[in-house]
């Protein structure tokens, strides 16, 4: 699922979009001279990627020379590779367990697109169910009833897994935003604070400090960065302060413009 190019390539083989693949699947000449129709069970797969590279760079005469070489190993190896390659293609194009898993991957990718194209989970579910009910048969017309029922059942389970993953991701995003908000200094809030976190000389003389106070914000408790100073009645207690909007004087305790009652610490 993560290697889009690989999945596209294997899906194209499975759907027999390439002419050579169609010729291999029905064993037209020259493939009929290599293997008969039907899946041949090959227990040992000696084929390597280098054989595919050889097919791309060698012409017909070069490959013919290898197949008729005096050395048995030289001529047997490409013949064995040909049979292995055809067998691998058969497992993708014929009714095998591997092809069934590939079809599930193909369906899963389509289901992912429905959920990626909208944030409305109900709408995505509606589109996905419509795809399974109406388009699945057209996508794989050679399905028998048993395979169709299994693919639909497992695809429904895939939808449930996708929705669960999306819900978990959304919850994680909300928690991450909440944690970031709580951890970030807030200069000003409804409960008190000051846009300017610089202390003036007058504020320093009065014992004003910059600290964090526990306050209720938007229904939750948060630590708010704000200015505070010792309470005039109890110097051991730090209280949040505000400036007089008219005189810009900072005060605490009995000053009418001060917001008191919130315990705070530097």
242-261 pLDDT per residue, tens:
666 666 565 554 433 344 44
At residue 125, φ and ψ (nearest 5 deg) are -65, -40
Residue position matching structure tokens 């058969």: 90
Element containing residue 23 per DSSP (H, E): helix 19-26
pLDDT for 184 equals 60
Confidence category of residue 126, pLDDT binned at 50, 70, 90:
very high
Give me the count of residues in the chain: 266
Contact indicator for 103, 144 with CB cutoff of 8 Å:
no
DSSP state of 133: I
| Greatest C-alpha distance within the chain | 108
- 60-76 tens-digit pLDDT: 899 899 989 999 988 99
Q: Are 59 and 65 in contact (CB under 8 A)?
A: no
For residue 197, the model assigns a pLDDT of 66
Residue 112 has pLDDT above 80, yes or no: yes
Write out pLDDT tens, residues 183-195. 665 434 444 444 4
Place of tokens 């005039």: 232
């Amino acid at each position: 699922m993560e290697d889009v190019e690989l999945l596209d390539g294997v899906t194209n083989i499975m759907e027999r979009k390439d002419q050579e693949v169609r010729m291999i699947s029905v064993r037209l000449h020259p493939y009929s001279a290599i293997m008969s129709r039907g899946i041949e069970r090959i227990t040992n797969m000696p084929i390597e990627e280098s054989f595919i590279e050889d097919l791309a760079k060698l012409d017909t005469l070069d490959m013919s020379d290898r197949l008729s070489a005096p050395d048995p190993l030289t001529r047997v190896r490409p013949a064995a590779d040909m049979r292995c390659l055809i067998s691998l293609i058969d497992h993708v194009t014929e009714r095998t367990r591997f092809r069934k898993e590939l079809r599930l991957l193909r369906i899963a990718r389509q289901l992912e697109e429905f959920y990626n194209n909208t944030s409305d989970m109900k709408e995505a579910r509606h589109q996905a169910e419509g795809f399974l009910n109406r388009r699945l048969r057209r996508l794989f017309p050679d399905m028998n009833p048993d395979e169709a029922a299994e693919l639909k059942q497992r695809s429904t389970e895939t939808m449930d897994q996708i929705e669960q993953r999306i819900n978990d991701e959304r919850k994680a995003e909300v928690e991450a935003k909440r944690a970031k908000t709580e951890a970030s200094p807030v200069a000003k809030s409804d409960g008190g604070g000051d846009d300017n976190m610089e202390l003036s000389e007058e504020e320093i003389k009065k014992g004003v400090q910059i600290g964090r106070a526990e306050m209720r914000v938007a229904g939750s408790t948060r630590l708010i960065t704000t200015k505070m100073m010792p309470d005039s009645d109890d110097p051991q207690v730090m209280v949040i302060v505000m400036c007089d909007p008219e005189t810009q004087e900072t005060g605490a305790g009995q000053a009418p413009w001060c917001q008191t009652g919130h315990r705070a610490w530097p």
